[in-house]
Structure 1
Amino acid sequence: MTGHRPRPWAVCALTAAVAVLCTTPAAARGAETLPEVRPRVETPALYDDEAGGNADADDPAIWRNAADPDRSLVVATAKEGGLRVYDLDARLVQSIAAPAAPGPDDAPGRFNNVDLVQGLKLSTGRADVAVTTDRGSDRLRVYRIDPSRPGRPLTDVTDPAAAPPVFSTGQEEINEQRTAYGLATWTDRATGRSYALVSRRERTTVALLELIPTASGGVGYRTVRTLDLPASFRLPDGTSWSPCAEPGELPQVEGMVVDPANGTLYAGQEDVGIWRMRADLTGTPRLVDTVREYGVPAVYDEATEECAAGADPGYGGARLSADVEGLTLLQESDGDGLLLASSQGDDTFAAYDREIDEDNEYEGGFRVTGASPSLDGSEECDGAAVLAAPLGSRFPNGLLVVQDGHDAPGDGDRAATNFKFVDLADVTTALDD
């Protein structure tokens, strides 16, 4: 990729719970003009209204069919719309509904994030599975991927008897929707055990759940441990700062990814920045980059339901604009690679080196822009997934899939979302320039 750049951060605070690394002020470095890449294809639009099934594109994952890479799949969440499965031409293969609400006053199923586990041990043999957070019911759902069923490749193998609420104590608490939110899967190479790391909506908690095969051929899980990231931060001038939010809300985590080479978890705390920590949630997390808005004082206005920001003291980073979302790992065959992060606030993507001993140096950025009037780019990206492996004739260099929070052209006043498919060679070329 690109050559090493000067480190844009310096250690500014250390506590028993976390090591906080603060970026030098954005104004000291100036703005950066980023290269543009264009999608090759896009999925059909999803509409978050009754007519569209309350479907809202959020987070993708890429499954490679090793026996026939041309038949690889993209599995993606659509919130209340459940799961969508697409082929490499971005055509819909399968639609899986989210579970109905258990009662008339209860929250319905709402699939938020998705990730894959390869070769998960089941009582019936090993299988690749897709794991998703069901924010509506505060549970995980697990789907077996079966390439011999081209029209319905995903089958629910969640064992309901072994799939309890992740954070809540009962349905009343589930209905408050401080529930399972972000997700990353991880298989510990030392033990062979597979896990899901799950964040909690409107809280700073991340939980480590072990995925467990059950006698019925299904999958359940158990909580191993949890970790709470900070909700407030000590600034270089000695003051304390917390991101502005509605009363009672804490700065949540959503985008997460694990580097399997070293068991490192990267977690995006949306209004704060990117954390690096051990995937087993032991040790001391480190904040390796912050959003531009880090340290900016703001007051929540109940009348407008917006935060009124004060003067920027210049403690934030220069690469990310809140929210930081869509973390994904580009793993190259030679062991190199990049951490990619969606900078939702300015419609860009930032790339960082995987090397933790180099403090994940910034390696460049890019935008996903429109390829034609009918094929637009990515705005306010929620989720992203990348795979640096040949995917048949369509994407022989690998694939980047990004969510588009404002698909265009729209359908009148209806808000539309979808997913864009980008040739990975275009991304690596842009970052090398």
Structure 2
Amino acid sequence: MFRLRPARSAGLVLGTALAALAAAVPAGAHPSSGAVLALPGVTPRAETATLYDDEAGGNANADDPAIWRNAAQPDRSLVIATAKEGGLRVYDLDARQVQAIPAPPAAGPDDAPGRFNNVDLVHGLRLPSGRADVSVTTDRGHDRLRIHRIAPGRAGGPLVDVTDPAAPPVFSSNQDEINDQQTAYGLATWTDAASGRSYALVSRRNRTTVALLELTPTATGTVTYRKVRTLDLPSAFRLPDGTSWTPCGEPDELPQIEGMVVDPANGMLYAGQEDVGIWRMRADLTAAPKLIDRVREYGVPGVYDEETEECSAGTDPGFGGTRLAADVEGLTLLTEPDGDGYILASSQGDDTFAAYDRELEDANEYEGGFRVTATADGAIDGSEECDGAAVLNAPLGTKYPHGLLVVQDGHDTPVDGDREATNFAFVDLGKVLDGIDD
């Protein structure tokens, strides 16, 4: 059995069985030793229809979800998710699609098309018509943010595009740079409790840059943004033996960041540098970042092969972590009313999820992990190579009274020939909070 259960006085704590599983892995264990965390599993309650990344399927590829709670009617809460060139998908709590929003077309015949990568929510954004909840999405294809007001019960679907048509590129200075696709990629939203201002933190594809953008409503009711500052994470690292290490990748590509989440209680941003590990930094990007955990592959030399477009790994020097296998992907925050909870991270390389304590005093201590596995009858498969995840620890009516965890599945089954198939799995958070029997 594994158990994440309410403590009598301190929110969630890890059950002794899960703690023992984590402790059983030696501190020096690395991929080359064959050591793998034997983590317990939770099963989904529902899954969305398969998205296919080809012309027949609309070039749709599931990536990142966000969960919007309908406070008036929790049973009618929504999951908003990106489908890359397929745009946005909106699902109800039965994982049925209720709206599909296409990505914007290419600016010209030789330009990159719209491609929605990551999505997050801002609650109570001040608009001329009053406060509203909005979704914010990175459009990697056009290097812009797309903002949609959430209007539950609207006849045409709950999302209404309120993006300012004059919203600027996030990182690029012209269309040629946009077409190079070193563009807006990962995303986390944040509302500063002190000022009430809302922001989007956006990472740059194939670079180590994170930008802080303030969301600013216009007089016409649309939303734009302005860049406040940027921060560059390292691309090369000094190892304990005195050597320097750079993660292997294609020429001119730096170790990028995608999965990000902000803890609103302390204004800390957690960012997953895919081939490196998880960083913690101030969400206003005014202080030096701290690497709180490393992937197992950290420090492993590699040589890029242009013919195969793969990296050949050298000998593992033993400087990596034990809980994450590259890539580090979707990060999400599981909160408790009393301030306890976890940062959850997708360990894409071994199909697991890692949980870290929110408390800074505990230095974001690793608390254990789990897998999302197929149901016993095989009717719903689990999650493999998960790109994005979202969790909400709040009652969502009769379907998910203990909350909901939504994870991307990078290999939906059954497969359909060579078509790339992905979707999203819905997990009752009660299975994570209360535990399951093996």
TM-score bracket for this pair, using the shorter chain length:
over 0.9
CA 1:227–1:431: 2 relative to 1, 3 Å: farther
Contact 1:39 1:423 (C-alpha < 8 Å) held by counterparts: yes
CA 1:413–1:327: 2 relative to 1, 3 Å: same
Query: For 2:245 and 2:50, how far apart are their aligned partners in 1?
Result: 39
Query: For 1:120 and 1:40, how far apart are their aligned partners in 2?
Result: 32
Tell me the SS of whatever aligns to 1:408: coil
Structure 1 residue 67 and structure 2 residue 72: aligned? yes
Query: Displacement, 1:386?
Result: 0.1
Query: For 1:216 and 1:257, how far apart are their aligned partners in 2?
Result: 30
Q: Which residue of 1 aligns with 2:350?
A: 346
2:29 partner amino acid: A
| Matches for 1:282-301 after TM superposition, within 5 Å | 282-301=286-305
| Matches for 1:67-216 after TM superposition, within 5 Å | 67-149=72-154, 151-161=156-166, 163-216=167-220
Q: Which residue of 2 aligns with 1:2?
A: 14
CA 1:394–1:201: 2 relative to 1, 3 Å: same
CA offsets per residue over residues 258-307 of structure 1, 9 Å max, x none?
00000000000000000000000011100000000000011101121110
CA offsets per residue over residues 206-243 of structure 1, 9 Å max, x none?
00000001000010000000000000000000000010
Q: Which residue of 1 aligns with 2:9?
A: none
CA offsets per residue over residues 347-387 of structure 1, 9 Å max, x none?
00000000112110011100000013231000000000000
Aligned length: 417
| Matches for 1:253-402 after TM superposition, within 5 Å | 253-371=257-375, 372-402=377-407
Tell me the SS of whatever aligns to 2:433: helix
Query: For 1:76 and 1:220, how far apart are their aligned partners in 2?
Result: 21
Q: Which residue of 1 aligns with 2:59?
A: 54
Structure 1 residue 33 and structure 2 residue 38: aligned? yes
Q: Which residue of 2 aligns with 1:244?
A: 248
Query: Displacement, 1:36?
Result: 0.4
| Matches for 1:390-429 after TM superposition, within 5 Å | 390-429=395-434
CA 1:355–1:177: 2 relative to 1, 3 Å: same
Query: For 2:338 and 2:97, how far apart are their aligned partners in 1?
Result: 33
Tell me the SS of whatever aligns to 1:70: helix
Query: For 2:417 and 2:381, how far apart are their aligned partners in 1?
Result: 16
Query: Displacement, 1:322?
Result: 0.3
Tell me the SS of whatever aligns to 2:14: coil
Query: For 1:428 and 1:363, how far apart are their aligned partners in 2?
Result: 13
CA 1:66–1:377: 2 relative to 1, 3 Å: same
Tell me the SS of whatever aligns to 1:237: coil
Q: Which residue of 1 aligns with 2:7?
A: none
Query: Displacement, 1:427?
Result: 1.3
Query: For 2:227 and 2:41, how far apart are their aligned partners in 1?
Result: 42
Unaligned runs of 5+ in 1: 9-22
Query: Displacement, 1:415?
Result: 1.5
Cα RMSD for the two superposed structures:
1.8
Query: For 2:159 and 2:36, how far apart are their aligned partners in 1?
Result: 45
Query: Displacement, 1:413?
Result: 2.3
Query: For 2:89 and 2:245, how far apart are their aligned partners in 1?
Result: 40
Q: TM-score normalised to the size of structure 1?
A: 0.94
Query: Displacement, 1:191?
Result: 0.2
Contact 1:35 1:430 (C-alpha < 8 Å) held by counterparts: no
Contact 1:186 1:194 (C-alpha < 8 Å) held by counterparts: yes
Q: Which residue of 2 aligns with 1:18?
A: none
CA 1:140–1:70: 2 relative to 1, 3 Å: same
CA 1:238–1:430: 2 relative to 1, 3 Å: farther
CA offsets per residue over residues 363-421 of structure 1, 9 Å max, x none?
11000000132310000000000000000110000000000000001222212100000
Contact 1:2 1:432 (C-alpha < 8 Å) held by counterparts: no
Query: For 2:151 and 2:73, how far apart are their aligned partners in 1?
Result: 13
**Percent identical across equivalent pairs?**
75
